[in-house]
Amino acid sequence: MFVYQPAADPIEPEIVKALSEVCTSTLGHLRDYGFAKGLQPLTRPTRFVGAAVTVRIPFMDSTAVHVAVDDLRPGDVIVVEHCGDRSRSCFGGMVAYTAKTRGAAGGLFDGPVNDYDEIIAAEFPVYSRGISSHTTRQLGIEGAINVPVTVGGAIVQPGDVIWADSDGVAILAPDEALGIASVLREKEEAEIPLRKAIDEGKRLSDWSGAAAAFRAGFVSTGG
């Protein structure tokens, strides 16, 4: 059985701009959830921000991926749950070329991809579980488009903000994205004078509080 739900609204350009100016690892200092873990980009540096178009496929059948890619809009990010299969690729050169032609911002896959050279040539940024020559088929068995999926241990709702850079991938609700970007921008801007202070001899551990915590827990071993 196949399920096809309408795509969620695209995200606002202001969200794309705001998140493109900050780092996912800065968010990693502030919270632990909402990160797609265990995935790697095909190349670094990399960066993309867009609205999730989600796809869930079974073991071997990538029929739904081809349908979803044909309907991608500019700025979308295709997000595919492989239902635990980490050996088969559902995304190769022609699929990447189609996604790029439709104007998609990137792809996020809880499995490997194939046709590495063609994806790189298409300049289509991807996070995945590596590369594999073992692929899926067009079997017409089942799949679902624009339903909640799980990728890298994170739940992704259709229309969620997929925010990727060279450090990793974070998933945000659209209504929280601008607020988070503002907090992160302030945090990153605070590091500018700190760099100057370190140049002048300031200790990083004094600034971060690590020195005080270390002294509080220090036990001498003698010698």
| Structure token digits, residue 145 | 């488009």
**195 pLDDT above the threshold of 90:** no
Query: What Rg value do the Cα atoms of the chain yield, rounded?
Result: 20
What is the CA 119 to chain-centroid distance, rounded? 17
Distance in angstroms (rounded) separating the CA atoms of residues 118 and 95: 10
Using omega within 30 degrees of 0 as the cis cutoff, is the peptide bond preceding 58 cis? no
| Structure token digits, residue 129 | 């579980």
Distance in angstroms (rounded) separating the CA atoms of residues 51 and 11: 6
DSSP, collapsed to helix, strand or coil, labels residue 79 as strand
80-104 pLDDT, tens digit each: 999 988 899 999 999 999 999 999 9
What is the structure's pLDDT at 217?
80
What is the structure's pLDDT at 220?
67
What is the structure's pLDDT at 115?
98
Distance in angstroms (rounded) separating the CA atoms of residues 161 and 82: 20
| pTM of model > 0.85 | yes
Query: Which of these, 168, 178, 180, 179, lies nearest to 11 by C-alpha position?
Result: 178
What is the structure's pLDDT at 87?
92
Average pLDDT estimate for 16-44:
97
Instruction: Identify the helix (H) or strand (E) that includes residue 2.
Output: strand 2-4
Query: Which of these, 114, 160, 169, 104, lies nearest to 136 by C-alpha position?
Result: 114
**200 pLDDT above the threshold of 80:** yes
Pairing of strands 40-41, 149-151: unpaired
34-72 pLDDT, tens digit each: 999 999 999 999 999 999 999 999 989 999 999 999 999
Query: Which of these, 57, 52, 82, 58, lies nearest to 67 by C-alpha position?
Result: 57
What is the structure's pLDDT at 219?
66
Give the Å distances, CA to CA, from 147 to 159, 190, 222: 10, 39, 61
